[in-house]
Amino acid sequence: MSFSPLIDQLIGALRVLPGVGAKSAQRMAFQLLERDRSGALKLAQSLSEAMERVGHCRRCRTLTELDECKICSSERRDESLICVVETPADVLAIEQTGSFRGRYYVLHGHLSPIDGLGPEEVGIPQLLELVQHSDISELVIATNPTVEGEATAHYIFEQVRPLAITVTRIAHGVPLGGELEYVDGGTLAHAFAGRKQL
CATH number at residue 155: 3.40.1360.10
Do 29 and 103 lie in a common domain?
no
Tally Cβ neighbours within 10 Å of residue 61.
24
pLDDT band (50, 70, 90) for residue 194: confident
Q: pTM to 2 decimals?
A: 0.85
- Which residue would you say has higher pLDDT here, 88 or 186? 88
Q: What is the mean pLDDT of residues 170-198?
A: 77
Structural domains of the chain, count = 2
Encoded amino acid at 76, one letter: R
Do 46 and 94 lie in a common domain?
no
Contact 108, 60 (CB under 8 A): no
How many angstroms separate the CA atoms of 88 and 171, rounded?
Answer: 20
CATH, residue 41: 1.10.8.420
Does residue 31 fall inside a structural domain? yes
- Which residue would you say has higher pLDDT here, 190 or 160? 160
pLDDT at residue 161, as a whole number? 92
Do 117 and 159 lie in a common domain?
yes
Q: What does the pLDDT look like over 73-86, one tens digit per residue? A: 999 999 999 999 99
Does residue 103 fall inside a structural domain? yes
Helix axes 37-53, 22-35, angle to 10 degrees: 120
Do 107 and 160 lie in a common domain?
yes
pLDDT band (50, 70, 90) for residue 1: low
Q: What is the mean pLDDT of residues 111-124?
A: 94
Residue 96 lies in domain: 78-171
Does residue 68 fall inside a structural domain? no
Does residue 65 fall inside a structural domain? no
Q: What is the mean pLDDT of residues 111-118?
A: 93
Do 167 and 85 lie in a common domain?
yes
Q: What angle do CA 110, 114, 116 make, to 5 degrees?
A: 65
Do 106 and 161 lie in a common domain?
yes
Do 22 and 105 lie in a common domain?
no
Does residue 137 fall inside a structural domain? yes
Segments of the chain assigned E as strands: 55-56, 63-64, 78-85, 102-106, 138-141, 166-169
